[in-house]
Structure 1
Amino acid sequence: MSEDRAGATRDEDSPAAALLHNEVTDLERISDRHFHSRSRQLLDKYIKVGVILVLLVWGSLLTIKTLKRSDQDGLGKPRFSFPNPDVTLEGKLKVSFDNVRNGTFVPKTHSIQWLEYAAKGDDDMGLYVTWEDESYVIKSVSDKTFEKVLIDGKTFVKDGHNFTIDNIVASPDLKRLLIKTNTAKNWRHSTIASYFVYDKNENGFTHVGDNIAYAEWSPNSVDVAFVQDNDIFIHSTAAADGLSAQRVTFDGSTQIFNGRPDWVYEEEVLESDKALWWSPDGSYLGFLRIDETDVNEFTIPYYAQTEDSIYPEMRSIKYPKSGTPNPEVDLLVYDLGNQSTYQAHIPKYFGDPDNVITEVVWVGHEHVIAKVADRSQDTLKIMNINAADKTTAVTRTESSEGGWWEVTHSTTHIPASPKFNRKYDGYIDILPVNGYNHLVYFSPLNASEPVVLTSGKWEVVDGPAAFDFNTNKVYFISTKKSSMERHLYYVKLDNPRVVHKVTDTSKEGVYSASFSSSARFALLSYNGPKVPYQKIIDLRSEKKEKKPEGNVVGETLYYIEKNKKLSGLTKKYSIPKKRFSKLNLGKDENGKDIVVNTFEILPNDFDPTLKNHYPVFFYAYGGPNSQQVIQSFSVSFNEVVASQLGAIVVVVDGRGTGFRGREFRSIVRDNLGYVEAQDQISAAALYSAKPFVDADKISLFGWSYGGYLTLKTLEMDAGKHFKYGMSVAPVTDWRLYDSVYTERYMHTPQENEHGYQRAKVSNVTAIGGAQRFLLMHGTGDDNVHFQNSLKFLDELNLGNVENYDVHVFPDSDHGIRFHNANKIVYDRLFNWIKHAYMGTYLL
């Protein structure tokens, strides 16, 4: 049996029709002579044939009916068919899951560990350290013949034991190495490890200690500060026995963290594993003392750590949830000369022990400034601690003016300089200027009013990137051309607000840069939208390049990566392209246009003349001050969905996301989940109206905040536009998430009870209005606790909502990687949405 284009069955070609034709031919050949003698036999045979014919025709009709049902969805429309998974109509290869998983399209990138020992002057050779041919060597970007081997091999033997080198940091004078080994992962940024000092000219390998959370060279190249069992010690390489360790703190415990962050400070504030800072000459050591005594514990059971475990392993962490006690934090300064410690007593300047110290920076040999916010990060105070005089003073107080204070880590000390008429020490910070984040310069240190260095309806990203002491130039990355791009610029301290471009803004680009010690040299990285490359540039060179690529200031010394192989693959494969644009979602409550950044990925062989054909796969993160719509190069899960499932992929950075100014992002203050969901729904409405889109196959996927946004969007939409949702590791109730992050955007539950109730994923009946949704979470998630999903599942049970699927990953943390989980989570996502587009989940 075959079908024509209209789906009509041609019965003349059926097996039953053929059988009938053969039997009639046989009957015509029977002679009259044999008719009477065989009449009964023929009659019997005819009856049998007739019965067979009826049965076969009836079976064919049933088959036709069944096939017609399977080729239509529940609404009577032709079933969506998936494209050829391997090649396009033109014969080019398609992006596959295997490509993404084996890194086929991941560009090669290199980082440079610039050496900071060089003076801030003309002697900057652009020295850096790297591994080369199993040797750890110092090289120079300005002199390719320069090379100094610091150590050979990645293993060493000490006291009869073999050690593998995990990381190396050279002392500022390059005479010794701090070696990290036996490294075990702790939280997102932190580890526990053993440390050795290596000096090939003296004692060889000297053991610093085991179970060390953090270690760092002093600028004097002699001392090493390290944290062990939450206390700070200073190891001196100048000690006669090479084993001397001077103890700085004595109260470290499971409740008191000295020099290292606790969980919430590591995750949300310092975003690193260190909470100590050397003064520029190594005379002082500043550090945080974090007291977790009043912070409540959260216990996580682990079920699959060993094969033979029959009881779960219980691990507890101090985790401050919204509205519960925060750790109490203070800044202390240790004087190595007289071995005394000064406590800054910062909490008393707020009258509240719940203040948050967000940044600590030395601004001279004796002065250290601390940025300190109140618990909800409405007010920021700048504290100046004088280590010599042992005094603390508030130099300025800043209001968030209805927004909030984001954490920064880029405040830059600017020393006094007669050459450039800088009378006093100062620092460069980042502050809102007319609602947009810009560079400002404070000098002297106690100045309350800044010199504004940049301004305009665009934003500086992450503060100053580098300062050139010889040219008075401040380098920075900004969105001056477009909030979807990143370009490198500079401004001179003595000529503020006059911005000069370093990268070519005539072409779309996303750039990043790292700088040598004096900012003369830079590793310039082009990250998209085309295939990335990296090169070394001399920013002080006046040489003009014939065909400049990337930079329009400075001289290209050489490329360290061109990604030629990847460029070849982009010609061999048909990679669906991201199309960036601005999307007008309509009017807000004040009648103002809501214009958002977006990109879409059209599937291979896209045909806009098709009617009601293409599914739409929305991907969202949407967290406050975040950004997904940026023109960087990537080939990921989104491209797999477009290539393999023939879906249109859409990403929308709605209100609340970053780099569009304070007004655009601060609208979500005290009201998370509301306008973010509205914007996703408005975008879905626009796509559902497109003639080539199948409005019954619009889905939304998100992870973490995106998982939360997925559920809130399904809740507000109630099945009108989004028919399917996939939520991974979501927050479902902001009372369950950590205090520092949540209260930055929501204040406390005690202050904003209505806001927390509104932001909670609560109307499960409305969520049940979608065709179906998928929930996935790791049980070992120390960030967004599995408790969020369990409480949500309980609400679903109480609400009699059953149109969902759940996949739980034992012992996986927020990244879902334990025991092959990362492969499974994406397999599950892909296959689940594939079945959704097939119509499997139609009610």
Structure 2
Amino acid sequence: MMEVNREDYEALKDDLFDGRLHSSTSKKQFFKDGLLIPSMILVLLLWGTIVLLKVVPILTAQEIRDHGRLGSHRNFYNQNGGKALNSRHTKDGSLKISFENVRNNTFKPKLQSLQWLRVLDFETNDRGLFMTVSNDTYMVKSVHDKEYCQILYQGKDITIHGTAYKIDSLVASPDLKRLLIRTNSVANWRHSYFGTYYIYEIEDSEFYKISDNIAVAQWSPNSIDISFVQDNDLYIYSTETHSISKKITKDGSENIFNGKPDWVYEEEVLESDTALWWSPNGKFIAFFKTLEDKVKEIVIPYYVQNEINHTNGNDLYPEMRSIKYPKAGTSNPEVDVWVYSLEEDRSYPVNINKEHRSNPLLITELFWVNENTFVTKVSDRSSDVLTVLTVDAITQDVNTARNDPAEESWWEITHDTKVVPKNPSKGRDTDGYIDIIPVDGYNHLVYYKSYQDSEPIILTTGNWEVTSDAISFDQENDRLYFIATKKSSVERHLYYIHLSKPGKVHAVTDTDMDGVFSVSFSPGNRFVLLTYRGPDIPYQKIIDLRSKQKDHHTRGNIIGETLYYLEKNDELRHNLLRYSVPEKSFDELYLGMDDNGQDIIVNSFEILPNDFNPELRNHYPVFFFAYGGPNSQQVIKTFSVGFNEVIASQLNAIVVCVDGRGTGFKGKKFRSIVRDNLGDYEARDQISAASIYGGKSYVNAEKISLFGWSYGGYLTLKTLEKDAGEHFKYGISVAPVTDWSLYDSIYTERYMHTPQENIDGYDNSNVANVKNIGKCKRLLIMHGSGDDNVHVQNTMIVLDKFNSNNVANYDMMIFPDSSHAIKYHNANRIVYDKMLDWTRQAFNGDFETYN
């Protein structure tokens, strides 16, 4: 999630009288008789003295310092406990959660990553080698042998001809003899960079420059060759001659990409900066060739990249940056797969799009199943039908293995396919692969024994789902490891099955305890970095899954031997002792029945403010947080202390998150209902949840708000539009889509088809009835002007609708040159400060006069 932070001032309001004196009549009666006044004064003096004596001994040194620094006007005393009630302390004296202690990482768990090394003998001798950095020293270590250490490089910089360059990226060759180093990095899009690359020969301690302005660089499995992309052309650099040995393509241009994705493929398809794949033996490269000549451009002005020079007139005009960006229904990039043979020094196209030039297919995944054959997944542009093709790199034969319709749903783009190599001794006579497909309405593991098979062996079933977080196959033990929601849709546990025994699922992590786990396997799948992410304080440890030893005390895993902890987060656990973190609980909400008479049950969590008192009446505001995009999930039992907890602590508010219909991990039917009609069911479910909370006796139904960012910003506007001020009185919408024809084609058409096919759906899904939004008390809308993902055009169009319909109950902030994350020039701090301050004003009733 986005970072939050800032110490804020919001003194808690508490009653000075207990319940018996709340009645104005009783207070008048008490003061009516003048004879009672002297007695009353005496009693109050005695009572005050006693209270003071009780209070003074329990003040801590920190509280005294806080009192002096903040000023006495920030401290109020409660009749019951004597403790300060303000934005810093709870009634028992514990510190509250604030932006100050969130932004200084007081509650941020330390989590490490391992760069596992896929060395040459990893399949037969998995030593669990990984690269790590300590005291600016890059070294290879082994999780199996703590004494093993191979130094690769010492220093955070490299020095070339007397000039030092910071190391931005370092990747070792598979034989650990050379390093590929990137410096002078310049960010491009979400995943991509340009930089200068060098080769470092470890034995000779020599540097060799490859070139500047390289977009992608990747080791061959042979540890000699490096493929790289420069100016959208694909090259091979040889470390034997330390020179460019081949220029594979010559047509790279602003409209033709080789080996590198364009904007939409990087963002929505590959989720990577790389569109090339070496064969296992290093004899072939499969790569994407992308033609963008038909893709229209979005031009984004950047206003504050440079200071204006008033003397010579430089930088008086905005810097205009153009991106090829296919909006819904417009021309997509035309992508095809090409194959290059190093031995024959020739390349050829697979011609996947030969018959689809006017309406290119999406090529969503590519993986090699053996030394000469790869599999690629393609779909139509609306992801209705998935086609799996096999390609022989030697014969150039292309065959269709299967065609699978989505059946009233869509195919999500995934990268979780796992190759299962042939092994006759294990009964595997052909190379195959593991995939995830819907089985009886839930995503499950299936096994295609041959990559040419059209019908799979079903490995798992049930009303739960296998996620795409990690799939790993241990060939030695015939174990297939995977993460799944078998226990609960808001948890993630590690399981395994024997490939030869489908259906029998074994838990690796302790399912008797709530948990969200993620994993990273060593290349030989013997060792695993197990990361526990919540709901308690996260920790990490290394496990030997093949060890016959068992842990003496179960913590996380019930299978495998814990070798050591990589991170325990003891410092975080100690820090939390000083704070009162608002209580967070998970539940399932019943939202009534759908149009077919079926129960609507959704996942939710709520965070209660400090010192929550359910006996209060019409008291607590409610702050709803939503994302709600198709197949997404926000309600999951991970550890976090951030913006939501700040809202609960500082504003004395209940925070609620509801994953309504359309979100993931509750089955195909639950998520697919939103197809072709985004914004309808999602908004209905937020309104139903608000109605439930508005009916609670301790909730102030006039102070219910909704906040969302990106798809959540869109959902905020659609919910306010549908609700028309009945339940949600306030809303915060950040970087919202407001018209789905403005968003990128690959994401949008997966859920909406094209506008040409579904014009009514687009009309209904857009933010249109702004007069209904005008019926809420107040709206805050914010956007970054440099957003290359959700263009600020979306916000400008809805603002124009506000103006045209005389809707004026909104506040607006634009963040110059900020991208979708809104971080440029301190913007991330400001955007969260604004949301907190604005919400405080809303809950204080400061906007009541606007309506």
TM-score for both structures, normalised by structure 2: 0.89
**1:348 aligned to 2:348?**
no
> Structure 1 residues 274, 744: CA separation in 2 closer, same or farther (over 3 Å shift)?
same
Give the conservation status (yes or no) of the 8 Å contact 1:120–1:470.
no
How much does 1:159 deviate? 2.7
1:692 aligns with 698
Secondary structure in 2 matching 1:149: strand
> Structure 1 residues 576, 337: CA separation in 2 closer, same or farther (over 3 Å shift)?
same
How much does 1:392 deviate? 1.0
**1:88 aligned to 2:110?**
no
C-alpha separation between the residues in 2 aligned to 1:245 and 1:584? Answer: 65
* Aligned residue among 588, 593, 599 for 1:582: 588
How much does 1:571 deviate? 2.1
**1:115 aligned to 2:112?**
no
C-alpha separation between the residues in 2 aligned to 1:570 and 1:88? Answer: 14
How much does 1:205 deviate? 0.6
1:611 aligns with 617
After superposition, where does 1:220-369 map in structure 2 within 5 Å?
220-239=222-241, 242-308=242-308, 309-348=315-354, 353-369=359-375
* Aligned residue among 217, 220, 225 for 1:218: 220
Give the conservation status (yes or no) of the 8 Å contact 1:227–1:258.
yes
2:687 aligns with 681
**1:749 aligned to 2:751?**
no
Cα deviation code 1:443-485 (max 9, x no counterpart): 2111010111111111111065211111111110000000000
Give the conservation status (yes or no) of the 8 Å contact 1:412–1:464.
no
| Paired AA for residue 248 in structure 1 | I
2:152 aligns with 150
* Aligned residue among 98, 115, 122 for 2:100: 98
C-alpha separation between the residues in 2 aligned to 1:546 and 1:522? Answer: 19
Give the conservation status (yes or no) of the 8 Å contact 2:390–2:452.
yes
How much does 1:160 deviate? 3.2
How much does 1:146 deviate? 0.2
C-alpha separation between the residues in 2 aligned to 1:142 and 1:621? Answer: 42
How much does 1:132 deviate? 1.4
How much does 1:348 deviate? 3.2
1:598 aligns with 604
How much does 1:711 deviate? 0.2
How much does 1:595 deviate? 0.1
C-alpha separation between the residues in 2 aligned to 1:255 and 1:183? Answer: 23
Give the conservation status (yes or no) of the 8 Å contact 1:464–1:474.
no
How much does 1:90 deviate? 1.1
2:735 aligns with 729
| Paired AA for residue 316 in structure 2 | I
Give the conservation status (yes or no) of the 8 Å contact 2:782–2:814.
yes
1:705 aligns with 711
1:191 aligns with 193
* Aligned residue among 163, 166, 169 for 2:168: 166
1:23 aligns with none
> Structure 1 residues 193, 238: CA separation in 2 closer, same or farther (over 3 Å shift)?
same
1:394 aligns with 400
| Paired AA for residue 111 in structure 2 | T
Secondary structure in 2 matching 1:707: helix
1:129 aligns with 131
Give the conservation status (yes or no) of the 8 Å contact 2:660–2:686.
yes
C-alpha separation between the residues in 1 aligned to 2:194 and 2:492? Answer: 36
Unaligned runs of 5+ in 2: 1-15, 35-83, 309-314
Cα deviation code 1:18-69 (max 9, x no counterpart): xxxxxxxxxxxxxxxxxxxxxxxxxxxxxxxxxxxxxxxxxxxxxxxxxxxx
C-alpha separation between the residues in 1 aligned to 2:623 and 2:133? Answer: 43
How much does 1:780 deviate? 0.4
C-alpha separation between the residues in 2 aligned to 1:353 and 1:800? Answer: 42
After superposition, where does 1:515-530 map in structure 2 within 5 Å?
515-530=521-536
2:416 aligns with 410
C-alpha separation between the residues in 1 aligned to 2:688 and 2:291? Answer: 46
> Structure 1 residues 92, 112: CA separation in 2 closer, same or farther (over 3 Å shift)?
same
C-alpha separation between the residues in 1 aligned to 2:443 and 2:477? Answer: 24
Give the conservation status (yes or no) of the 8 Å contact 1:207–1:243.
no
C-alpha separation between the residues in 2 aligned to 1:351 and 1:441? Answer: 33
* Aligned residue among 534, 545, 551 for 2:540: 534
- Of residues 349-358 and 513-522 in structure 1, the stretch that sits farther from structure 2 once superposed is 349-358
1:773 aligns with 779
Structure 1 vs Structure 2: percent identity of aligned residues? 56
C-alpha separation between the residues in 2 aligned to 1:754 and 1:663? Answer: 22
- Of residues 568-577 and 765-774 in structure 1, the stretch that sits farther from structure 2 once superposed is 568-577
Give the conservation status (yes or no) of the 8 Å contact 1:83–1:646.
no
> Structure 1 residues 237, 158: CA separation in 2 closer, same or farther (over 3 Å shift)?
same
| Paired AA for residue 106 in structure 1 | K
C-alpha separation between the residues in 2 aligned to 1:425 and 1:520? Answer: 21
Q: Give RMSD over aligned pairs.
A: 1.8
After superposition, where does 1:501-520 map in structure 2 within 5 Å?
501-520=507-526
Cα deviation code 1:299-358 (max 9, x no counterpart): 001111111132111111000000000000000110000011121100136575421101
C-alpha separation between the residues in 2 aligned to 1:699 and 1:244? Answer: 60
**1:381 aligned to 2:374?**
no
Unaligned runs of 5+ in 1: 18-81
How much does 1:714 deviate? 0.1
C-alpha separation between the residues in 2 aligned to 1:358 and 1:721? Answer: 42
2:659 aligns with 653
| Paired AA for residue 87 in structure 1 | H
> Structure 1 residues 208, 682: CA separation in 2 closer, same or farther (over 3 Å shift)?
same
C-alpha separation between the residues in 1 aligned to 2:804 and 2:627? Answer: 28
2:429 aligns with 423
Give the conservation status (yes or no) of the 8 Å contact 2:233–2:248.
yes
After superposition, where does 1:480-495 map in structure 2 within 5 Å?
480-495=486-501
**1:141 aligned to 2:143?**
yes
Cα deviation code 1:582-605 (max 9, x no counterpart): 000001001111000000000000
2:462 aligns with 456
C-alpha separation between the residues in 2 aligned to 1:407 and 1:212? Answer: 27
C-alpha separation between the residues in 2 aligned to 1:599 and 1:268? Answer: 29
How much does 1:572 deviate? 1.8
1:839 aligns with 845
**1:467 aligned to 2:469?**
no
Give the conservation status (yes or no) of the 8 Å contact 1:350–1:374.
no
Cα deviation code 1:469-521 (max 9, x no counterpart): 11111110000000000000011111111111100000000000001111000
How much does 1:570 deviate? 2.1
How much does 1:577 deviate? 2.2
TM-score for both structures, normalised by structure 1: 0.90
Secondary structure in 1 matching 2:755: coil
> Structure 1 residues 527, 212: CA separation in 2 closer, same or farther (over 3 Å shift)?
same
Give the conservation status (yes or no) of the 8 Å contact 2:470–2:519.
no
Give the conservation status (yes or no) of the 8 Å contact 1:189–1:273.
yes
1:372 aligns with 378
C-alpha separation between the residues in 1 aligned to 2:357 and 2:657? Answer: 44
Give the conservation status (yes or no) of the 8 Å contact 1:121–1:470.
no
Cα deviation code 1:221-270 (max 9, x no counterpart): 0000000000000001012xx12341011110000011011000010000
C-alpha separation between the residues in 2 aligned to 1:806 and 1:615? Answer: 23
How much does 1:118 deviate? 4.6
Secondary structure in 1 matching 2:646: helix
Question: How many residues in Structure 1 have an aligned counterpart in Structure 2?
Answer: 774
Give the conservation status (yes or no) of the 8 Å contact 1:118–1:517.
no
Cα deviation code 1:614-635 (max 9, x no counterpart): 0000000000000000000001
How much does 1:157 deviate? 1.3
- Of residues 152-161 and 703-712 in structure 1, the stretch that sits farther from structure 2 once superposed is 152-161
- Of residues 212-221 and 112-121 in structure 1, the stretch that sits farther from structure 2 once superposed is 112-121
